Structure 1
């Protein structure tokens, strides 16, 4: 952890120290929709940005409403960093419209959606069933550290477009974040023995398969965002009976349906935080270790 912070400090010190004009440059206000996006903004932007996060770490970003405080932050922002892929569709467009900040319009340098530089994992649900299906792909990219690395570099490029004098520092900070994450992943993967079978409440955990030896074999939900009925839960239990596995869900999702499945199968159940407690790299590193601590027991 100290090595990562030192690497970022050195990157910004070397890149920024020679320029007296840069020392007087105003800091950019970045409004991030979620704590994970705040991690990207604060880690890559360093001393050149102030960061405001709109969604608390224990809230579901699907289900919020636009609030006056959100609108006030967006009105003053130089850049908004959203997840995109319809995650915030229920409230962010309305908040941006009310803020009436021309810098944050889609297509402007001040609007950045993390999903845009990525080829997202497709939804695992049949759109014909209805519910909150992610037609643009699974937006829960923060559950994949490799995806967060890609977003960090893309965001460094965007910040460089807004503050070109700091471009070397932004890219160096993204590289330090990448090095810190990649150095952790082999040891985290090695804590698993055989591949772990997961039944998840929702499809966000599909991203675990990109960096951990896990397989997502079913969902507590039948339709995304819709409480499951007893017939679906009965079918799920029968499909998994006699096999080993683990039930996972987000800490803000209803536990009763998942608990029924876990009790019937004799499987452990883990309600996991999906967002870091604070919008900084150290908290994100602690979050991915928390995921592995829970699953690799």
Structure 2
């Protein structure tokens, strides 16, 4: 394979590190890495396609972390621990932050000590379709706390957030047992419970170019259902757990079986949300 000459993109801030978790997506990385406008740490989840070596040769400034195994979303935790900037942006191997977004995010964090996470507007594909999650965040029912830089939200897409590094690490980052798909919910709860603001800013923009096919959507639905119920068991009141369990049994009995096997772990690590945090999440459940 011929590695193309790297295209240099000027860093727009030295206060944000972009952490990209990847597995077997070498060709896509060669397209997206040059789009990042801040220092990059690439965390490789045990790729077998030569991704770490190729990226190291093509982009020597990128910090490449080889995990040797697939840790799913928790691979991002390793990137955050290695970052030396106060703020960390996440990107997938098929996404990037548009010009000016990371610098604006850093300025917002600098001006707001209670801000733990900023989530961006996500535009999907070449035609820039608004991601439905971004539309929901723009209409979030919690309003904007006095002094906050945007509407308060209770969820996010992992490829479209900037986090305060100290807040992320104190909250424990992404839970390894959840692996992928729906891993964001537990972290959103724990950051909010710790008193951090999670806010949506439409002037921060992420471009996302997911592949049109090639993933097992049935397996994804099973994992998402499992993680939804595990997250409820870990943090939500019994009424929410019961409602979520009923939906899981109806929609994905195999996911319910997965949760049964993980039940001792979930009950051991259960920590109910503070009442004010639970009230906020209950409002967005509706």
User: What is the TM-score of this pair, normalised by structure 2?
Assistant: 0.31
Higher strand proportion (structure 1 or 2): 2
Pair member with larger Rg:
1
Which TM-score applies when normalising by structure 1? 0.30
